[in-house]
Amino acid sequence: MAHNESSRGFVDPNWPNPNGSNDAPIIIYGYVPNFPLTIFASTLFSISLLIHLSQLLYYRTWYFATVPIALILEVLGYIFRSFSAHRDPYSVLYFVLQYFFIVTAPVFLSAGIYAILSVLITGTGRKYSPLPPKWILGIFVTSDVVTTIV
């Protein structure tokens, strides 16, 4: 049984494979990413980053610093995704970078949420929580990091 190129993965007939040193024989995404949507996502995450960073600096809530880090990773991820959409959808490097940044960002966002939970428990009183605030932060951040690695 003969296999043609399209039976092994997605190859866009409108976007020929440049066959560069960093290129896969197929488009790893299974489609060509939408360039305007990647720019839109990058812009929204950048606006959110500016807002959160200004609030972080104004209110000096350093426990919330992981959220701007997550937003920076999201912006970088969607920038590399836009490179895939606009320059070379076959590029393995662009795919790996965008995937890494977009998948890693929620870990930092979750850490920010756990930090806020710890601050809220400390502020409202330990009697409302079954665990001490430091335990909550440590347990959840450790579990997030481990599950992301696995």
Bigger pLDDT: 2 vs 124: 124
pLDDT given at position 71: 98
Taking the C-alpha atoms of residue 88 and residue 150, their distance in angstroms, rounded to an integer, is 29
pLDDT given at position 36: 97
C-alpha angle 128-131-135 in degrees, rounded to nearest 5: 135
Local structure of residue 34 (DSSP, 8 states)? -
Domain extent, residue 119, equals 22-149
Q: Is residue 1 part of a domain?
A: no
* Of 75, 69, 73, nearest in space to 43 by CA: 75
Q: Is residue 86 part of a domain?
A: yes
Taking the C-alpha atoms of residue 134 and residue 14, their distance in angstroms, rounded to an integer, is 54
pLDDT in tens, 44-97: 999 999 999 999 999 999 989 999 999 999 999 999 999 999 999 999 999 999
Q: Is residue 47 part of a domain?
A: yes
pLDDT given at position 1: 38
Q: Tell me, what amino acid is at 105?
A: A
pLDDT given at position 4: 44
Axis crossing angle, helix 92-124 with helix 133-149, rounded to the nearest 10:
170
Give the dihedral of Cα atoms 76, 81, 83, 88; nearest 10 deg.
150
Q: Is residue 13 part of a domain?
A: no
Print burial letters for 116-142: b (CB count within 10 Å at least 16), e (below 16): bebeebeeeeeeebeeebeebbeebbe
Look at the chain and report how many structural domains it folds into: 1
Q: Is residue 56 part of a domain?
A: yes
Structure tokens at 4: 């043609």
Q: Is residue 107 part of a domain?
A: yes
pLDDT given at position 85: 92
Global pTM reads: 0.84
Contact 12, 30 (CB under 8 A): no
pLDDT in tens, 105-136: 999 999 999 999 989 998 898 888 888 888 88
Q: Is residue 113 part of a domain?
A: yes
Look at residue 2 and tell me whether its pLDDT is greater than 50: no
